[in-house]
Amino acid sequence: MSGKVYLVGSGPGDPELLTVKAKRLIETADVVLHDKLPGPSLDLVDDEKAEDVGKRAGGEWTPQEYTNKRLVELAEAGKTIVRLKGGDPFVFGRGGEEMEHLAANEIEFEYVPGVTAGVAGAGVAGIPVTHRAHNSSVSFVTGHEDPTKEESAVNWQALAATGGTIVVYMGVGKLPDYTQVLADAGMDPETPVALVERATWPGQRVATGTLDTIVDVRDEVGIEPPAITVIGPVAATRDRVKAFLRNDYESSHSRE
Ligand code: SAH
């Protein structure tokens, strides 16, 4: 009998933000295949059952084919496997690909949602991704690709026109490119923008500016991945509430 694979989202990193189900599965699984993004949640994974399929010491990514193959191999050996991913497995997490691979190989699986960084990361910084006074839509996009190339998979011009919140994943490096494309598409240069780095991890940092200034702010503060970018009027709510925002994560690390 084949085992079963649980595609589990860890949430943004704080172990207390794991779902009760995720915690139970991590404790009872035979093997936990993970990358680095679950961050501090990984403290709950026993060393003996942890297998790191994230970035290797040399900086190389474990190829997705290896992870797919390993999941099938372990399941065929009858194991119960947790495939632990940061945030939600189906939001820029390749969970979709892994699920299809498992189904194609006749392996049973279950999806266990986690709170995605785009929602949780904004929230812990005092930024609601929707707010009745400001916007009625939110788009989650990848900033990984070159937004200036002709056939960008993200239609930044269209996003600029929606007036909704834009949450960019993997968008630290290309910040100068897509903020420029948005400005060229007519987005107000004064539009509030926030960067939230390592949300809910110890040492979380938040940096805020506008479409016009955020690149300088990024460089000044030295924001690095993993971080999300929140673009839109909701990003300014932080300034109105932050004096009373008390979460466990931010300490003197926040520089604004
Ligand atoms: N499946 C994940 C996203 C994986 S893509 C999710 O649902 O959250 C990797 C990107 O996610 C990072 O580059 C960053 O943009 C974002 N991310 C994940 N965890 C984060 C965290 N704790 N703080 C800030 N950004 C995070």
pLDDT tens across 12-56, in order? Answer: 999 999 999 999 999 999 999 999 999 999 999 999 999 999 876
Residues 6+ positions from 53 with CB-CB distance below 8 Å: 33, 34, 35, 62, 66, 67, 70
CA geometry: angle 11, 146, 174, nearest 5 deg: 55
Q: Which residues are catalytic?
A: 35, 55, 170
Q: Which pLDDT score, from 0 to 100, does residue 253 have?
A: 46
Q: pTM to 2 decimals?
A: 0.95
Beta-bridged to residue 229, according to DSSP, are 168, 195
Q: What is the mean pLDDT of residues 136-141?
A: 97
Residue 254 has pLDDT above 60, yes or no: no
For residues 199 and 249, the answer to whether their CB atoms sit within 8 Å is: yes
Q: pLDDT, tens digit, for every residue of 63-117?
A: 899 999 999 999 999 999 999 999 999 999 999 999 999 999 999 999 999 999 9
Q: Which protein residues touch ligand 1 with a CB less than 6 Å away?
A: 12-13, 37, 85-88, 91-93, 116-117, 121, 169-170, 196, 198-201, 225-228
CATH superfamily of 117-244: Tetrapyrrole methylase, C-terminal domain (3.30.950.10)
Q: What is the pLDDT of residue 44?
A: 96
Concatenate the DSSP letters of all residues of 11-57 into one string.
BSS-GGGS-HHHHHHHHH-SEEEE-STTGGGGGGS-GGGEEE-SB-T
Q: Which atom of ligand 1 is nearest to the CA of 171?
A: 15
Question: Ligand 1 centre from 76 Cα, in Å?
Answer: 31
- Average pLDDT of the chain is 93
Tell me how far the alpha carbon of residue 87 lies from the centroid of ligand 1, in angstroms.
Answer: 6
**148 token code pair:** 């200036």
Residue 4's pLDDT band (cuts 50, 70, 90)? very high
- Read off the pLDDT band of 144 (50, 70, 90): confident
CA of 80 to the centre of ligand 1 (A): 26
- Work out which ligand 1 atom sits closest to the CA atom of 117: 8
Phi-psi region of 116 (alpha: psi -120 to 50; beta: other; left: phi over 0): beta
Nearest alpha-carbon partner for 235 in 253, 252, 256, 221:
256
Q: What gap in Å lies between CA 143 and CA 38, rounded to an integer?
A: 20
Is the confidence at residue 252, as pLDDT, over 50?
no
Provide the residue ranges of all domains of the chain, joining segments of one domain with +: 4-112, 117-244
Structure letter (DSSP) for residue 87? B
What is the CATH code for 4-112?
A: 3.40.1010.10
- pLDDT value at residue 58: 66
